[in-house]
A and B are shown apart, each in its own frame.
Chain A
Protein backbone atom coordinates (compact mmCIF):
# COMPACT_ATOMS: atom_id res chain seq x y z
CA UNK A 1 0.00 0.00 0.00
CA UNK A 2 2.24 2.74 -1.23
CA UNK A 3 1.81 6.14 0.22
CA UNK A 4 3.47 8.85 -1.71
CA UNK A 5 5.64 11.68 -0.61
CA UNK A 6 6.38 10.35 2.81
CA UNK A 7 9.20 8.14 1.75
CA UNK A 8 11.09 11.06 0.35
CA UNK A 9 13.47 11.03 3.25
CA UNK A 10 14.86 7.77 2.01
CA UNK A 11 16.41 9.64 -0.87
CA UNK A 12 18.85 10.99 1.57
CA UNK A 13 22.26 10.75 0.10
CA UNK A 14 24.36 12.26 2.75
CA UNK A 15 23.79 10.65 6.06
CA UNK A 16 27.26 10.26 7.32
CA UNK A 17 26.47 8.11 10.30
CA UNK A 18 25.15 4.85 9.04
CA UNK A 19 23.58 3.03 11.93
CA UNK A 20 24.51 -0.60 11.66
CA UNK A 21 21.09 -1.99 11.49
CA UNK A 22 19.33 0.30 9.09
CA UNK A 23 20.01 0.37 5.42
CA UNK A 24 19.38 3.54 3.49
CA UNK A 25 18.05 3.14 0.02
CA UNK A 26 17.85 5.61 -2.73
CA UNK A 27 15.29 4.53 -5.26
CA UNK A 28 11.57 4.45 -5.86
CA UNK A 29 9.15 4.91 -3.03
CA UNK A 30 7.35 1.71 -3.89
CA UNK A 31 10.41 -0.39 -3.48
CA UNK A 32 11.38 1.41 -0.35
CA UNK A 33 7.98 0.84 1.11
CA UNK A 34 8.24 -2.89 0.57
CA UNK A 35 11.69 -3.02 1.99
CA UNK A 36 10.95 -1.09 5.10
CA UNK A 37 8.05 -3.34 5.96
CA UNK A 38 10.36 -6.31 5.58
CA UNK A 39 13.19 -4.90 7.58
CA UNK A 40 13.16 -5.45 11.29
CA UNK A 41 14.51 -3.63 14.26
CA UNK A 42 16.72 -6.18 15.93
CA UNK A 43 17.07 -6.93 19.64
CA UNK A 44 14.14 -4.75 20.47
CA UNK A 45 10.71 -5.81 21.55
CA UNK A 46 7.47 -3.94 21.34
CA UNK A 47 5.10 -4.76 24.15
CA UNK A 48 1.36 -4.22 24.20
CA UNK A 49 -0.17 -4.68 27.65
CA UNK A 50 -3.72 -5.91 27.41
CA UNK A 51 -6.47 -7.00 29.68
CA UNK A 52 -9.07 -9.46 28.53
CA UNK A 53 -11.98 -11.05 30.26
CA UNK A 54 -15.69 -11.11 30.86
CA UNK A 55 -18.28 -9.18 32.81
CA UNK A 56 -21.54 -10.97 33.45
CA UNK A 57 -24.79 -9.53 34.85
CA UNK A 58 -27.60 -11.56 36.25
CA UNK A 59 -30.77 -10.55 34.52
CA UNK A 60 -32.96 -10.92 37.56
CA UNK A 61 -36.60 -10.60 36.71
CA UNK A 62 -35.88 -10.53 33.01
CA UNK A 63 -34.06 -13.84 33.22
CA UNK A 64 -35.42 -16.84 31.39
CA UNK A 65 -34.36 -20.50 31.35
CA UNK A 66 -32.11 -20.09 28.39
CA UNK A 67 -31.00 -16.55 29.04
CA UNK A 68 -30.26 -15.90 32.64
CA UNK A 69 -27.22 -13.67 32.23
CA UNK A 70 -26.03 -10.94 29.98
CA UNK A 71 -22.31 -10.99 29.54
CA UNK A 72 -19.64 -9.15 27.61
CA UNK A 73 -16.28 -10.51 26.53
CA UNK A 74 -13.62 -8.03 25.54
CA UNK A 75 -9.99 -7.25 24.95
CA UNK A 76 -8.87 -3.82 26.03
CA UNK A 77 -5.62 -1.99 26.49
CA UNK A 78 -4.33 -2.26 30.03
CA UNK A 79 -4.47 1.51 30.34
CA UNK A 80 -7.70 1.60 28.36
CA UNK A 81 -6.02 3.02 25.32
CA UNK A 82 -7.04 2.20 21.79
CA UNK A 83 -5.69 -1.13 20.58
CA UNK A 84 -6.75 -0.50 17.04
CA UNK A 85 -3.26 0.58 16.07
CA UNK A 86 -2.01 -2.92 16.71
CA UNK A 87 -4.99 -5.24 16.35
CA UNK A 88 -6.83 -5.39 13.10
CA UNK A 89 -9.71 -7.56 14.20
CA UNK A 90 -10.59 -10.05 16.89
CA UNK A 91 -12.43 -13.33 16.45
CA UNK A 92 -14.40 -14.57 19.43
CA UNK A 93 -15.17 -18.25 19.28
CA UNK A 94 -18.25 -19.01 21.31
CA UNK A 95 -19.89 -22.24 22.38
CA UNK A 96 -21.42 -24.08 19.39
CA UNK A 97 -24.86 -23.70 20.94
CA UNK A 98 -24.76 -20.05 19.97
CA UNK A 99 -25.87 -18.89 16.56
CA UNK A 100 -22.85 -18.14 14.41
CA UNK A 101 -20.44 -19.01 17.18
CA UNK A 102 -17.57 -17.39 15.31
CA UNK A 103 -17.97 -13.68 15.89
CA UNK A 104 -15.62 -11.24 14.23
CA UNK A 105 -15.16 -7.79 15.66
CA UNK A 106 -13.57 -5.57 13.05
CA UNK A 107 -12.83 -2.45 15.02
CA UNK A 108 -12.08 -1.35 18.53
CA UNK A 109 -13.37 -1.55 21.17
CA UNK A 110 -12.98 -5.30 20.65
CA UNK A 111 -15.86 -6.67 22.58
CA UNK A 112 -18.90 -8.83 22.23
CA UNK A 113 -22.06 -9.03 24.30
CA UNK A 114 -24.41 -11.95 24.49
CA UNK A 115 -27.10 -13.49 26.63
CA UNK A 116 -26.97 -17.01 27.85
CA UNK A 117 -27.10 -19.37 30.80
CA UNK A 118 -23.98 -21.48 30.59
CA UNK A 119 -20.30 -21.07 31.38
CA UNK A 120 -17.82 -22.16 28.76
CA UNK A 121 -14.40 -21.37 27.39
CA UNK A 122 -14.30 -18.52 24.92
CA UNK A 123 -11.61 -18.53 22.29
CA UNK A 124 -10.19 -15.09 21.55
CA UNK A 125 -8.00 -14.80 18.47
CA UNK A 126 -6.16 -11.58 17.83
CA UNK A 127 -5.33 -10.68 14.27
CA UNK A 128 -2.80 -7.96 13.76
CA UNK A 129 -2.17 -5.47 11.01
CA UNK A 130 0.00 -6.62 8.17
CA UNK A 131 3.01 -4.63 9.26
CA UNK A 132 2.72 -5.86 12.80
CA UNK A 133 2.51 -9.61 12.52
CA UNK A 134 1.05 -12.05 10.09
CA UNK A 135 0.41 -14.69 12.73
CA UNK A 136 -2.62 -14.63 14.96
CA UNK A 137 -2.42 -14.90 18.72
CA UNK A 138 -4.88 -17.10 20.56
CA UNK A 139 -6.15 -16.49 24.05
CA UNK A 140 -8.64 -18.46 26.07
CA UNK A 141 -10.94 -17.25 28.77
CA UNK A 142 -13.43 -19.10 30.89
CA UNK A 143 -16.75 -17.29 31.07
CA UNK A 144 -17.86 -17.04 34.66
CA UNK A 145 -21.48 -16.24 35.36
CA UNK A 146 -21.96 -17.30 38.94
CA UNK A 147 -20.20 -15.57 41.83
CA UNK A 148 -17.80 -17.33 44.17
CA UNK A 149 -19.88 -17.10 47.27
CA UNK A 150 -23.19 -18.59 46.53
CA UNK A 151 -24.78 -16.98 49.56
CA UNK A 152 -28.07 -15.40 48.80
CA UNK A 153 -29.67 -14.46 45.49
CA UNK A 154 -27.61 -13.03 42.71
CA UNK A 155 -27.59 -9.30 42.36
CA UNK A 156 -28.42 -7.64 39.12
CA UNK A 157 -26.35 -4.67 40.06
CA UNK A 158 -23.07 -6.32 40.81
CA UNK A 159 -21.60 -8.30 37.92
CA UNK A 160 -19.19 -11.18 37.99
CA UNK A 161 -15.93 -9.81 36.61
CA UNK A 162 -12.99 -11.96 35.60
CA UNK A 163 -10.08 -10.23 33.91
CA UNK A 164 -6.59 -11.39 33.01
CA UNK A 165 -3.63 -9.18 32.44
CA UNK A 166 -1.10 -10.13 29.83
CA UNK A 167 1.38 -8.54 27.49
CA UNK A 168 1.72 -9.17 23.80
CA UNK A 169 5.36 -9.17 22.87
CA UNK A 170 6.62 -8.57 19.36
CA UNK A 171 10.31 -9.43 19.17
CA UNK A 172 12.22 -7.79 16.35
CA UNK A 173 9.32 -5.69 15.13
CA UNK A 174 9.24 -4.32 11.64
CA UNK A 175 10.51 -0.82 11.20
CA UNK A 176 7.22 0.29 9.81
CA UNK A 177 5.32 -0.91 12.83
CA UNK A 178 7.91 0.55 15.13
CA UNK A 179 7.74 3.95 13.53
CA UNK A 180 3.99 3.94 13.50
CA UNK A 181 3.47 3.16 17.16
CA UNK A 182 6.53 4.86 18.56
CA UNK A 183 4.47 7.37 20.42
CA UNK A 184 1.27 5.48 20.80
CA UNK A 185 -0.12 5.40 24.35
CA UNK A 186 -1.25 1.79 24.14
CA UNK A 187 2.14 0.47 23.20
CA UNK A 188 5.36 0.16 25.16
CA UNK A 189 8.21 0.96 22.85
CA UNK A 190 11.78 1.01 24.08
CA UNK A 191 13.91 3.99 23.37
CA UNK A 192 16.26 3.44 20.51
CA UNK A 193 19.88 4.53 20.74
CA UNK A 194 20.68 7.94 19.37
CA UNK A 195 21.44 8.06 15.71
CA UNK A 196 18.81 5.53 14.91
CA UNK A 197 16.56 6.66 12.17
CA UNK A 198 13.43 5.06 10.97
CA UNK A 199 11.22 5.72 8.04
CA UNK A 200 8.46 8.19 8.78
CA UNK A 201 5.36 6.60 10.20
CA UNK A 202 2.72 5.54 7.75
CA UNK A 203 -0.75 5.79 9.21
CA UNK A 204 -3.01 2.84 8.62
CA UNK A 205 -6.02 2.97 6.43
CA UNK A 206 -9.47 3.05 7.94
CA UNK A 207 -8.32 4.12 11.34
CA UNK A 208 -10.98 5.15 13.79
CA UNK A 209 -13.75 5.39 11.36
CA UNK A 210 -16.22 4.26 13.97
CA UNK A 211 -15.34 6.77 16.61
CA UNK A 212 -13.25 6.11 19.64
CA UNK A 213 -11.43 2.85 20.00
CA UNK A 214 -10.26 3.40 23.53
CA UNK A 215 -12.19 2.17 26.54
CA UNK A 216 -11.57 5.01 28.93
CA UNK A 217 -15.20 6.00 29.11
CA UNK A 218 -16.59 2.63 28.37
CA UNK A 219 -19.94 1.96 30.04
CA UNK A 220 -18.44 -1.01 31.83
CA UNK A 221 -15.27 0.78 32.78
CA UNK A 222 -16.35 1.11 36.40
CA UNK A 223 -15.95 -2.66 36.73
CA UNK A 224 -12.55 -2.82 35.16
CA UNK A 225 -9.90 -4.22 37.50
CA UNK A 226 -6.75 -2.38 38.33
CA UNK A 227 -3.54 -4.20 37.67
CA UNK A 228 -0.58 -2.75 39.42
CA UNK A 229 2.77 -4.37 39.11
CA UNK A 230 4.00 -2.54 42.18
CA UNK A 231 2.35 -4.95 44.60
CA UNK A 232 3.78 -8.00 42.96
CA UNK A 233 7.18 -6.47 42.61
CA UNK A 234 7.22 -5.70 46.29
CA UNK A 235 6.17 -9.18 47.23
CA UNK A 236 8.70 -10.72 44.91
CA UNK A 237 11.48 -8.52 46.22
CA UNK A 238 10.66 -9.44 49.80
CA UNK A 239 10.53 -13.13 48.94
CA UNK A 240 13.85 -12.95 47.15
CA UNK A 241 15.43 -11.29 50.13
CA UNK A 242 14.29 -14.05 52.44
CA UNK A 243 15.47 -16.76 50.12
CA UNK A 244 18.82 -15.08 49.65
CA UNK A 245 19.28 -14.78 53.39
CA UNK A 246 18.60 -18.48 53.80
CA UNK A 247 21.00 -19.34 51.04
CA UNK A 248 23.74 -17.42 52.78
CA UNK A 249 23.01 -19.21 56.03
CA UNK A 250 23.06 -22.64 54.43
CA UNK A 251 26.27 -21.85 52.60
CA UNK A 252 27.86 -20.96 55.91
CA UNK A 253 26.67 -24.19 57.45
CA UNK A 254 27.91 -26.20 54.51
CA UNK A 255 31.33 -24.63 54.58
CA UNK A 256 31.56 -25.26 58.30
CA UNK A 257 30.97 -28.94 57.70
CA UNK A 258 33.34 -29.06 54.76
CA UNK A 259 35.98 -27.39 56.85
CA UNK A 260 37.00 -25.37 53.86
CA UNK A 261 36.71 -21.65 53.23
CA UNK A 262 33.49 -20.58 51.51
CA UNK A 263 33.23 -23.02 48.60
CA UNK A 264 33.12 -21.43 45.19
CA UNK A 265 29.84 -22.30 43.60
CA UNK A 266 29.30 -21.84 39.89
CA UNK A 267 27.67 -18.47 39.27
CA UNK A 268 24.26 -18.88 40.76
CA UNK A 269 21.17 -17.01 39.81
CA UNK A 270 21.46 -14.13 42.18
CA UNK A 271 24.81 -13.19 40.85
CA UNK A 272 23.49 -12.59 37.42
CA UNK A 273 20.74 -10.16 38.31
Chain B
Protein backbone atom coordinates (compact mmCIF):
# COMPACT_ATOMS: atom_id res chain seq x y z
CA UNK B 1 0.00 0.00 0.00
CA UNK B 2 1.33 3.38 -0.86
CA UNK B 3 0.09 6.94 -0.74
CA UNK B 4 0.45 8.63 -4.06
CA UNK B 5 -0.21 11.89 -5.77
CA UNK B 6 -0.75 11.10 -9.41
CA UNK B 7 -3.10 11.31 -12.38
CA UNK B 8 -5.81 9.09 -13.80
CA UNK B 9 -3.78 7.55 -16.58
CA UNK B 10 -0.99 6.59 -14.24
CA UNK B 11 -3.53 5.03 -11.88
CA UNK B 12 -4.80 2.82 -14.69
CA UNK B 13 -1.28 1.69 -15.60
CA UNK B 14 -0.30 1.00 -11.99
CA UNK B 15 -3.49 -0.92 -11.33
CA UNK B 16 -2.97 -3.04 -14.44
CA UNK B 17 0.42 -4.07 -13.08
CA UNK B 18 -1.10 -5.00 -9.75
CA UNK B 19 -3.87 -6.93 -11.50
CA UNK B 20 -1.24 -9.06 -13.22
CA UNK B 21 -0.99 -7.49 -16.66
CA UNK B 22 1.50 -9.38 -18.80
CA UNK B 23 0.89 -8.03 -22.29
CA UNK B 24 0.09 -4.55 -23.45
CA UNK B 25 -0.39 -3.59 -27.08
CA UNK B 26 -1.15 -0.08 -28.20
CA UNK B 27 -0.86 2.71 -30.69
CA UNK B 28 -0.11 6.25 -29.54
CA UNK B 29 -3.11 8.52 -29.21
CA UNK B 30 -3.94 11.52 -27.07
CA UNK B 31 -4.88 11.44 -24.25
CA UNK B 32 -3.73 7.90 -23.49
CA UNK B 33 -0.15 7.64 -24.70
CA UNK B 34 1.33 8.07 -21.25
CA UNK B 35 -0.28 4.78 -20.19
CA UNK B 36 1.70 3.02 -22.90
CA UNK B 37 4.86 5.00 -22.21
CA UNK B 38 4.74 4.16 -18.52
CA UNK B 39 4.12 0.48 -19.20
CA UNK B 40 6.93 0.39 -21.75
CA UNK B 41 9.21 1.13 -18.85
CA UNK B 42 7.51 -0.86 -16.09
CA UNK B 43 5.95 -3.92 -17.67
CA UNK B 44 9.27 -5.68 -18.43
CA UNK B 45 10.14 -5.37 -14.73
CA UNK B 46 6.97 -7.33 -14.03
CA UNK B 47 7.88 -10.04 -16.54
CA UNK B 48 5.56 -8.71 -19.21
CA UNK B 49 5.82 -7.26 -22.68
CA UNK B 50 4.62 -3.93 -24.01
CA UNK B 51 4.55 -3.48 -27.74
CA UNK B 52 3.69 -0.49 -29.85
CA UNK B 53 1.84 -1.80 -32.88
CA UNK B 54 1.25 -0.35 -36.32
CA UNK B 55 -2.34 0.61 -35.53
CA UNK B 56 -5.28 -0.08 -33.26
CA UNK B 57 -6.51 -2.93 -35.43
CA UNK B 58 -3.31 -4.77 -34.67
CA UNK B 59 -3.35 -3.77 -31.01
CA UNK B 60 -6.76 -5.21 -30.22
CA UNK B 61 -6.15 -8.40 -32.19
CA UNK B 62 -2.75 -8.84 -30.59
CA UNK B 63 -4.19 -8.65 -27.08
CA UNK B 64 -6.81 -11.23 -27.98
CA UNK B 65 -4.00 -13.46 -29.24
CA UNK B 66 -1.93 -12.81 -26.14
CA UNK B 67 -4.85 -13.62 -23.88
CA UNK B 68 -5.23 -16.98 -25.63
CA UNK B 69 -1.54 -17.51 -25.08
CA UNK B 70 -2.26 -17.18 -21.37
CA UNK B 71 -1.41 -13.57 -20.58
CA UNK B 72 -3.57 -10.96 -18.93
CA UNK B 73 -3.71 -8.42 -21.70
CA UNK B 74 -4.87 -4.88 -22.27
CA UNK B 75 -4.78 -1.90 -24.56
CA UNK B 76 -5.71 1.74 -24.13
CA UNK B 77 -7.06 4.20 -26.62
CA UNK B 78 -9.49 7.04 -27.20
CA UNK B 79 -12.39 7.48 -29.63
CA UNK B 80 -10.63 7.32 -33.00
CA UNK B 81 -8.63 4.26 -32.00
CA UNK B 82 -11.60 2.60 -30.36
CA UNK B 83 -13.55 3.00 -33.59
CA UNK B 84 -10.83 0.99 -35.30
CA UNK B 85 -11.04 -1.67 -32.61
CA UNK B 86 -14.71 -2.36 -33.25
CA UNK B 87 -14.23 -5.62 -35.09
CA UNK B 88 -11.51 -6.92 -32.79
CA UNK B 89 -13.66 -6.29 -29.78
CA UNK B 90 -16.34 -8.46 -31.36
CA UNK B 91 -13.74 -11.19 -31.80
CA UNK B 92 -13.03 -11.04 -28.08
CA UNK B 93 -16.74 -11.24 -27.37
CA UNK B 94 -17.50 -14.27 -29.52
CA UNK B 95 -14.35 -16.13 -28.47
CA UNK B 96 -15.03 -15.21 -24.82
CA UNK B 97 -11.58 -13.79 -24.35
CA UNK B 98 -10.62 -11.86 -21.23
CA UNK B 99 -9.13 -8.51 -22.20
CA UNK B 100 -9.28 -5.01 -20.76
CA UNK B 101 -9.54 -1.84 -22.82
CA UNK B 102 -8.91 1.47 -21.14
CA UNK B 103 -10.98 3.86 -23.19
CA UNK B 104 -10.13 7.46 -22.40
CA UNK B 105 -12.81 9.59 -24.01
CA UNK B 106 -11.88 12.76 -25.81
CA UNK B 107 -14.08 15.24 -27.62
CA UNK B 108 -15.42 14.08 -30.99
CA UNK B 109 -16.82 13.37 -33.51
CA UNK B 110 -13.81 12.40 -35.58
CA UNK B 111 -10.54 13.99 -34.51
CA UNK B 112 -12.46 16.51 -32.38
CA UNK B 113 -10.33 18.01 -29.63
CA UNK B 114 -7.63 15.44 -28.84
CA UNK B 115 -6.62 16.84 -25.47
CA UNK B 116 -10.07 17.61 -24.14
CA UNK B 117 -12.95 15.66 -22.84
CA UNK B 118 -16.62 14.91 -23.12
CA UNK B 119 -18.68 11.85 -22.21
CA UNK B 120 -20.04 11.45 -25.72
CA UNK B 121 -18.84 7.89 -26.23
CA UNK B 122 -20.82 5.91 -23.72
CA UNK B 123 -22.79 4.17 -26.43
CA UNK B 124 -19.76 3.59 -28.59
CA UNK B 125 -18.16 1.91 -25.58
CA UNK B 126 -21.14 -0.39 -25.19
CA UNK B 127 -22.07 -1.17 -28.73
CA UNK B 128 -19.21 -0.38 -31.09
CA UNK B 129 -19.07 -3.92 -32.45
CA UNK B 130 -21.85 -5.64 -34.36
CA UNK B 131 -23.95 -8.50 -33.04
CA UNK B 132 -25.59 -9.34 -29.72
CA UNK B 133 -23.51 -9.13 -26.57
CA UNK B 134 -22.97 -7.24 -23.33
CA UNK B 135 -19.58 -5.73 -22.59
CA UNK B 136 -19.22 -4.37 -19.06
CA UNK B 137 -18.27 -0.68 -18.99
CA UNK B 138 -16.87 0.82 -15.79
CA UNK B 139 -16.61 4.59 -15.35
CA UNK B 140 -14.33 5.95 -12.61
CA UNK B 141 -14.76 9.47 -11.24
CA UNK B 142 -11.46 9.91 -9.40
CA UNK B 143 -7.85 8.85 -9.55
CA UNK B 144 -8.48 6.45 -6.69
CA UNK B 145 -11.31 4.88 -8.57
CA UNK B 146 -9.36 4.73 -11.83
CA UNK B 147 -7.02 2.47 -9.88
CA UNK B 148 -9.71 0.43 -8.12
CA UNK B 149 -11.93 -0.05 -11.15
CA UNK B 150 -9.03 -1.06 -13.38
CA UNK B 151 -8.35 -3.93 -11.01
CA UNK B 152 -12.03 -4.72 -11.03
CA UNK B 153 -12.03 -4.63 -14.84
CA UNK B 154 -9.31 -7.28 -14.95
CA UNK B 155 -11.09 -9.35 -12.35
CA UNK B 156 -14.39 -9.28 -14.22
CA UNK B 157 -12.65 -9.98 -17.53
CA UNK B 158 -10.89 -13.02 -16.12
CA UNK B 159 -13.81 -14.28 -14.11
CA UNK B 160 -16.41 -13.91 -16.85
CA UNK B 161 -14.13 -14.53 -19.85
CA UNK B 162 -15.17 -11.32 -21.46
CA UNK B 163 -13.75 -8.03 -22.69
CA UNK B 164 -14.24 -5.22 -20.18
CA UNK B 165 -13.99 -1.51 -20.84
CA UNK B 166 -12.67 0.96 -18.36
CA UNK B 167 -14.18 4.22 -19.54
CA UNK B 168 -12.23 7.24 -18.39
CA UNK B 169 -12.01 10.66 -20.01
CA UNK B 170 -9.43 13.28 -20.88
CA UNK B 171 -10.23 15.25 -17.74
CA UNK B 172 -9.62 12.34 -15.40
CA UNK B 173 -6.63 11.25 -17.47
CA UNK B 174 -4.68 14.26 -16.28
CA UNK B 175 -6.42 15.06 -13.06
CA UNK B 176 -3.89 14.89 -10.23
CA UNK B 177 -5.13 13.49 -6.93
CA UNK B 178 -4.06 11.91 -3.73
CA UNK B 179 -4.85 8.22 -3.62
CA UNK B 180 -3.89 4.97 -1.98
CA UNK B 181 -2.60 2.26 -4.29
CA UNK B 182 -2.75 -1.23 -2.92
CA UNK B 183 -0.34 -3.96 -3.83
CA UNK B 184 -0.74 -7.59 -4.78
CA UNK B 185 -1.77 -9.43 -1.66
CA UNK B 186 -3.76 -6.44 -0.46
CA UNK B 187 -6.47 -6.70 -3.10
CA UNK B 188 -8.42 -9.58 -4.54
CA UNK B 189 -6.95 -10.68 -7.87
CA UNK B 190 -8.95 -13.16 -9.93
CA UNK B 191 -7.47 -15.43 -12.56
CA UNK B 192 -9.39 -17.26 -15.27
CA UNK B 193 -10.78 -20.69 -14.56
CA UNK B 194 -8.72 -23.58 -15.93
CA UNK B 195 -10.20 -26.80 -17.32
CA UNK B 196 -10.59 -29.68 -14.87
CA UNK B 197 -10.98 -32.31 -17.60
CA UNK B 198 -8.36 -33.91 -19.84
CA UNK B 199 -7.91 -32.52 -23.37
CA UNK B 200 -10.09 -35.20 -25.03
CA UNK B 201 -13.05 -34.11 -22.93
CA UNK B 202 -12.44 -30.39 -23.04
CA UNK B 203 -14.76 -28.06 -24.92
CA UNK B 204 -13.58 -24.46 -24.96
CA UNK B 205 -17.07 -22.96 -24.90
CA UNK B 206 -18.87 -25.33 -22.59
CA UNK B 207 -20.02 -23.40 -19.54
CA UNK B 208 -20.11 -24.78 -16.03
CA UNK B 209 -22.93 -24.07 -13.65
CA UNK B 210 -21.95 -20.45 -13.13
CA UNK B 211 -22.39 -19.90 -16.85
CA UNK B 212 -18.69 -19.60 -17.52
CA UNK B 213 -16.54 -21.98 -19.52
CA UNK B 214 -13.06 -22.81 -18.21
CA UNK B 215 -10.34 -21.54 -20.51
CA UNK B 216 -7.45 -23.64 -21.72
CA UNK B 217 -4.81 -21.64 -23.53
CA UNK B 218 -2.39 -22.27 -26.36
CA UNK B 219 0.48 -24.60 -25.72
CA UNK B 220 -1.17 -26.77 -23.05
CA UNK B 221 -2.19 -29.62 -25.36
CA UNK B 222 -5.91 -28.88 -25.34
CA UNK B 223 -6.08 -28.17 -29.08
CA UNK B 224 -8.26 -25.17 -28.39
CA UNK B 225 -10.27 -23.63 -31.17
CA UNK B 226 -10.59 -19.88 -31.18
CA UNK B 227 -13.48 -19.33 -33.54
CA UNK B 228 -14.87 -16.05 -34.84
CA UNK B 229 -17.74 -17.78 -36.60
CA UNK B 230 -20.86 -18.79 -34.73
CA UNK B 231 -19.85 -21.97 -32.97
CA UNK B 232 -21.02 -24.71 -30.68
CA UNK B 233 -19.38 -25.61 -27.39
CA UNK B 234 -16.49 -27.30 -29.18
CA UNK B 235 -15.83 -24.21 -31.26
CA UNK B 236 -17.20 -25.77 -34.44
CA UNK B 237 -18.87 -23.45 -36.90
CA UNK B 238 -22.51 -24.34 -37.20
CA UNK B 239 -24.98 -22.33 -39.20
CA UNK B 240 -28.06 -23.02 -37.18
CA UNK B 241 -30.55 -20.87 -35.33
CA UNK B 242 -30.43 -22.98 -32.19
CA UNK B 243 -26.65 -22.80 -32.04
CA UNK B 244 -26.78 -19.06 -32.63
CA UNK B 245 -29.31 -18.68 -29.81
CA UNK B 246 -27.35 -20.87 -27.46
CA UNK B 247 -24.16 -18.97 -28.12
CA UNK B 248 -25.69 -15.52 -27.67
CA UNK B 249 -27.49 -16.76 -24.60
CA UNK B 250 -24.19 -17.94 -23.18
CA UNK B 251 -22.33 -14.71 -23.95
CA UNK B 252 -25.08 -12.50 -22.60
CA UNK B 253 -26.29 -14.86 -19.91
CA UNK B 254 -22.99 -15.17 -18.07
CA UNK B 255 -22.90 -11.40 -17.60
CA UNK B 256 -26.52 -11.14 -16.49
CA UNK B 257 -26.17 -14.10 -14.18
CA UNK B 258 -23.22 -12.42 -12.51
CA UNK B 259 -24.53 -8.89 -12.57
CA UNK B 260 -23.76 -8.48 -8.88
CA UNK B 261 -20.09 -8.78 -9.69
CA UNK B 262 -20.36 -6.29 -12.48
CA UNK B 263 -22.83 -3.61 -11.50
CA UNK B 264 -21.76 -1.10 -8.91
CA UNK B 265 -23.13 2.28 -7.93
CA UNK B 266 -23.11 4.55 -4.92
CA UNK B 267 -25.50 7.02 -3.39
CA UNK B 268 -25.00 10.38 -1.75
CA UNK B 269 -27.64 12.01 0.46
CA UNK B 270 -30.30 9.66 -0.86
CA UNK B 271 -32.01 8.92 2.49
CA UNK B 272 -35.49 10.36 2.04
CA UNK B 273 -34.31 12.56 -0.82
CA UNK B 274 -37.10 14.25 -2.73
CA UNK B 275 -35.14 14.59 -5.95
CA UNK B 276 -32.11 12.88 -7.33
CA UNK B 277 -29.29 13.47 -9.73
CA UNK B 278 -28.04 10.47 -11.66
CA UNK B 279 -24.54 10.91 -12.99
CA UNK B 280 -21.26 9.09 -13.72
CA UNK B 281 -17.59 9.71 -14.33
CA UNK B 282 -16.21 13.22 -14.00
CA UNK B 283 -19.65 14.84 -14.41
CA UNK B 284 -20.57 13.33 -11.09
CA UNK B 285 -17.86 15.44 -9.45
CA UNK B 286 -19.73 18.55 -10.50
CA UNK B 287 -23.05 16.95 -9.65
CA UNK B 288 -22.00 16.27 -6.09
CA UNK B 289 -21.08 19.92 -5.65
CA UNK B 290 -24.51 20.83 -7.01
CA UNK B 291 -26.23 18.50 -4.57
CA UNK B 292 -24.43 20.21 -1.69
CA UNK B 293 -25.26 23.67 -2.96
CA UNK B 294 -28.92 22.79 -3.24
CA UNK B 295 -29.06 21.11 0.15
CA UNK B 296 -27.61 24.24 1.68
CA UNK B 297 -30.57 26.05 0.24
CA UNK B 298 -32.87 23.52 1.86
CA UNK B 299 -33.65 21.44 -1.19
CA UNK B 300 -33.79 17.72 -0.48
CA UNK B 301 -31.75 16.28 -3.27
CA UNK B 302 -29.41 13.32 -3.47
CA UNK B 303 -27.22 11.68 -6.05
CA UNK B 304 -26.91 8.22 -7.51
CA UNK B 305 -23.58 7.68 -9.20
CA UNK B 306 -23.13 4.76 -11.53
CA UNK B 307 -19.69 3.21 -11.40
CA UNK B 308 -20.82 0.60 -13.90
CA UNK B 309 -22.61 2.26 -16.76
CA UNK B 310 -23.27 -0.98 -18.60
CA UNK B 311 -24.98 -3.29 -17.91
CA UNK B 312 -27.27 -1.58 -15.43
CA UNK B 313 -29.03 -3.59 -12.76
CA UNK B 314 -32.34 -2.00 -13.47
CA UNK B 315 -34.16 -3.52 -10.52
CA UNK B 316 -31.81 -2.15 -7.91
CA UNK B 317 -31.66 1.23 -9.61
CA UNK B 318 -35.45 1.41 -9.63
CA UNK B 319 -35.53 0.60 -5.98
CA UNK B 320 -33.02 3.28 -5.12
CA UNK B 321 -34.86 5.91 -7.11
CA UNK B 322 -38.39 4.78 -6.26
CA UNK B 323 -39.01 7.44 -3.65
CA UNK B 324 -37.97 10.54 -5.58
CA UNK B 325 -40.06 12.97 -7.56
CA UNK B 326 -37.69 14.33 -10.14
CA UNK B 327 -34.58 12.73 -11.56
CA UNK B 328 -31.90 14.83 -13.24
CA UNK B 329 -29.40 13.00 -15.41
CA UNK B 330 -26.20 15.00 -15.57
CA UNK B 331 -23.72 14.13 -18.30
CA UNK B 332 -21.18 15.78 -20.55
CA UNK B 333 -22.77 15.05 -23.94
CA UNK B 334 -25.96 15.65 -25.89
CA UNK B 335 -27.88 13.44 -23.47
CA UNK B 336 -27.27 9.70 -23.64
CA UNK B 337 -27.47 7.86 -20.35
CA UNK B 338 -30.71 9.76 -19.90
CA UNK B 339 -32.32 7.47 -22.50
CA UNK B 340 -31.69 4.50 -20.22
CA UNK B 341 -32.90 6.28 -17.15
CA UNK B 342 -36.03 7.52 -18.89
CA UNK B 343 -36.78 3.94 -19.87
CA UNK B 344 -35.95 2.40 -16.51
CA UNK B 345 -37.77 5.12 -14.54
CA UNK B 346 -40.56 5.59 -17.09
CA UNK B 347 -43.11 6.46 -14.42
CA UNK B 348 -41.00 9.36 -13.13
CA UNK B 349 -40.09 12.72 -14.45
CA UNK B 350 -36.56 12.27 -15.82
CA UNK B 351 -34.88 15.46 -16.94
CA UNK B 352 -31.76 15.55 -19.07
CA UNK B 353 -29.05 17.90 -17.87
CA UNK B 354 -26.83 17.54 -20.89
CA UNK B 355 -23.99 20.00 -20.81
CA UNK B 356 -21.19 19.75 -23.30
CA UNK B 357 -17.99 21.08 -21.80
CA UNK B 358 -14.46 20.34 -22.91
CA UNK B 359 -13.43 19.86 -19.27
CA UNK B 360 -16.49 18.91 -17.29
CA UNK B 361 -19.87 20.60 -16.75
CA UNK B 362 -19.53 23.34 -14.14
CA UNK B 363 -21.78 23.23 -11.09
CA UNK B 364 -23.19 26.63 -11.96
CA UNK B 365 -24.33 25.52 -15.38
CA UNK B 366 -25.90 22.41 -13.92
CA UNK B 367 -27.63 24.52 -11.29
CA UNK B 368 -29.05 26.80 -13.95
CA UNK B 369 -30.84 23.87 -15.58
CA UNK B 370 -31.97 22.22 -12.38
CA UNK B 371 -33.25 25.47 -10.90
CA UNK B 372 -35.63 25.83 -13.81
CA UNK B 373 -37.31 22.58 -12.79
CA UNK B 374 -37.43 23.00 -9.03
Task: State whether these chains interact.
Answer: no
